[in-house]
Structure 1
Amino acid sequence: MPAEQPTILATSGGYRAGLRTNLEFGALVREAVELSGATKPKLCHVGTAYGDQRWFNADVSEAGRVAGWEVNHLNLFTMPPTDDLAGFLLEHDVVWVGGGSVANLLAVWAVHGLGDAMRRAWEAGVVLGGVSAGSICWHAGGATDSFGPELRIVTNGLGLLPYGNGVHYDTEALRRPTIHAAVAAGELPLTYCTDDGAGLLYRGTELVEALSERRSGGAYVVRRDDSSATAQEDPLDIRRL
C-alpha cells in the first residue's frame, strides 16, 4: 500500500538494543512503517554505507522477526540481486537505509543507477527513510566523516530534498560548527539537523514535522543571513513518540 504522497523520514536514530536479540527497530522505524499504511509491512534494508555487512543484515532480519515484518536486503556487494532495482524497491512498503559512509554510498549508488530507482520508488509512495548516512543521502548534502576524523561537506546527495542535512548534532561536537560554516559560506542551502533519536518527516519536499524517539534532544533549522554572511539556527517544534 503506497503512502498518500511522496514521504521521507530522515533520522539520527531508529535502532535500539534488543531484549533477546542484538537489534530491534525503534520508534522511528515503526513510524516509517505506520506512514506507509501497510498492514503486512515489507521493509527493504539498504546497507551500502556499511559495506553490505552480512552480519549486520542478520541483525536487521532478526529485528524484523521481532517486529513481525518481512525484511529483505538490497545488497550491492558483490553484485545487485536483480537488473530491475526500481522493481525490487517497489515491492516494498518502506526502504530503510543504514548508516556508515555517505560518500561511499553515493558513489556506489551512482555506479548502479540506484538514485533514479529511489526516486521512482519515492514518487510511487514507497516510504524512504534511514539513519545518519541514510538521512543525508536524500538531501542535497551534509557534513560527513566519510573521509576521515575531520568533517567534510558532501554536496552530491540525491537531492530528492533540496536542503542540507546535519546528523548526530548533539553527540559529535564538530557537527554543529561544520554545518554553520557550510551554510554561512553558501556551500549548503537551508539545512535541517537532528540530535540523536530525532527525525525529520517530509511530505513531498516540504518538512511537515520533527519527531523524536527519545525524551531529550531536538531538531533545528540553519539558515544563512545574507546581510552578515553568517548562519542562524532555530529549534523546531518536536513531537515525542
Structure 2
Amino acid sequence: MNRRDFVATGGTFAAAAALPAFAQPLPATPAPHMIDSNLAAPDARATRKILIAGGGFRTKFIGYMAQLTGKTRPRICYLPTASADSPAGSLAFYQSCAPLNVEPFVQNSFIESLSQTQGWDEVLLSMDAIVVSGGNTLNQQAIWKAQGIDVILRQAWDRGIVLGGASAGSLCWFDEGTTDSRPKALSIVKCMGFLKGSHSPHYDAEAGRRPLYQKLIGSGEMQPGYACDNDAGLYFEDNTIKRVVAARAGAKCYHVKLVNGKVVEETMEPEML
C-alpha cells in the first residue's frame, strides 16, 4: 500500500487487512495471537547454539560458526544494530567472509518499509547463522525490543540457527553484563537471557573490565558468569559450554564466581581455531 492509499483508509493498519505480513508493525512484546505459531514453536529436534568471543569475531570465528551449521555453504547474516548499521562494520564482515565458503548477508535495523520488503522473521529465520556486531549494547537492546527483533532471535535460537558475535554481540545473549554503553563509566546492562548468568567481554583489552566484573560479582550486584579476552570465546549448546576456543595465542576465557564468599576466577584454556 502506498502512502496515498494508506491515508485514504484512515491511516490505520486495521483498515488495511490486505497488507502483506511484512508491512504489519511489530510491537515490543507481541501478544500471543500476533505470533505465527509455526514460527514461534521450537523444533524439539534442534540443538540451540551460540558462539561468542570477547572481541574480534573475524574469519576464524565465522568459519567455525559455518561448521556448526552443518551446511556446505551456509547463509550467514550480519546484524549491525549496535553499531548503528555502520557501513565500515558491514564491509569488514564481508571481508572476513571472503575466504570462506559461505553466503554473507547484512540486515540493517535502521530501515523503512518502502525498501525493506521482508519482515524480520522472513529474513532472519531464513539464515543458517546470525552474527551480531559490536557497539552500544544498551541501544541495541532497546531497538530490538521496539522492533520485535528480540522475539525473532529467540525463535531462531529455538530452531537451531547458530547465533553469535563479540562485544555487544556476545553480551546480548546473557542475562546481564558489563558495558560501556552509557556516559562516563562502565555499568550493568540487562540483556535477553538466552544464556543464564553474566558476561564480560574485552577482559584483557580494557583495564577497567576485570576489576569491575569481580567487584560486581563479589558484591552480589551481578550473577557469576564468563569473561572472555579478545579473540577468545565459548561455544554453548543450550546453556552448556561445549568448547573453549581462540583465534590468537594467549587469549583465554574465565569462569568468575563466588566460593565461600570470595571471588574466584577459573582460567579456561582454549583450543586454537
Following TM superposition, by how much is the alpha carbon of 1:82 offset from its aligned partner in structure 2, in angstroms?
5.0
Runs of 5+ in structure 2 lacking a partner? 1-42
Moved more, 127-136 or 65-74: 65-74
Q: Distance in 1 between matches of 2:150 and 2:220?
A: 25
Letter in 2 for 1:9: L
Following TM superposition, by how much is the alpha carbon of 1:46 offset from its aligned partner in structure 2, in angstroms?
0.5
Instruction: Note if 1:7 corresponds to 2:7.
Output: no
The structure with more radius of gyration: 2
The equivalent residue for 1:113 is 148
CA deviations over 1:46-67 (Å, ceiling 9, x no partner): 1011000224323323433442
Q: Is the 8 A contact 1:153 1:182 kept in 2?
A: no
Q: Distance in 2 between matches of 1:82 and 1:144?
A: 34
Instruction: Note if 1:185 corresponds to 2:235.
Output: no
Moved more, 174-183 or 78-87: 78-87
Instruction: Note if 1:206 corresponds to 2:240.
Output: yes
Q: Distance in 1 between matches of 2:191 and 2:137?
A: 9
The equivalent residue for 1:138 is 173
Taking the TM superposition and a 5 Å limit, the aligned residue runs for 1:1-241 are 5-15=47-57, 25-79=58-112, 81=116, 84-154=119-189, 156-225=190-259, 227-228=260-261, 230-241=262-273
Q: Distance in 2 between matches of 1:78 and 1:5?
A: 31
Following TM superposition, by how much is the alpha carbon of 1:87 offset from its aligned partner in structure 2, in angstroms?
2.8
Judged with a 3 Å threshold, the aligned counterparts in structure 2 of structure 1 residues 235 and 122 are, in CA distance, closer, same or farther, namely same
Q: Is the 8 A contact 1:101 1:145 kept in 2?
A: yes
Q: Distance in 1 between matches of 2:55 and 2:67?
A: 16
Q: Is the 8 A contact 1:11 1:167 kept in 2?
A: yes
Q: Is the 8 A contact 1:14 1:29 kept in 2?
A: no
Q: Percent of counterpart pairs with the same letter? A: 30
SS at match of 2:178: strand
Q: Distance in 2 between matches of 1:13 and 1:34?
A: 20
Runs of 5+ in structure 1 lacking a partner? 16-24
Following TM superposition, by how much is the alpha carbon of 1:114 offset from its aligned partner in structure 2, in angstroms?
1.1
Q: Distance in 2 between matches of 1:4 and 1:214?
A: 31
Q: Distance in 2 between matches of 1:82 and 1:159?
A: 30
SS at match of 1:67: coil
Report the aligned-residue RMSD.
Answer: 1.9
Letter in 2 for 1:11: A
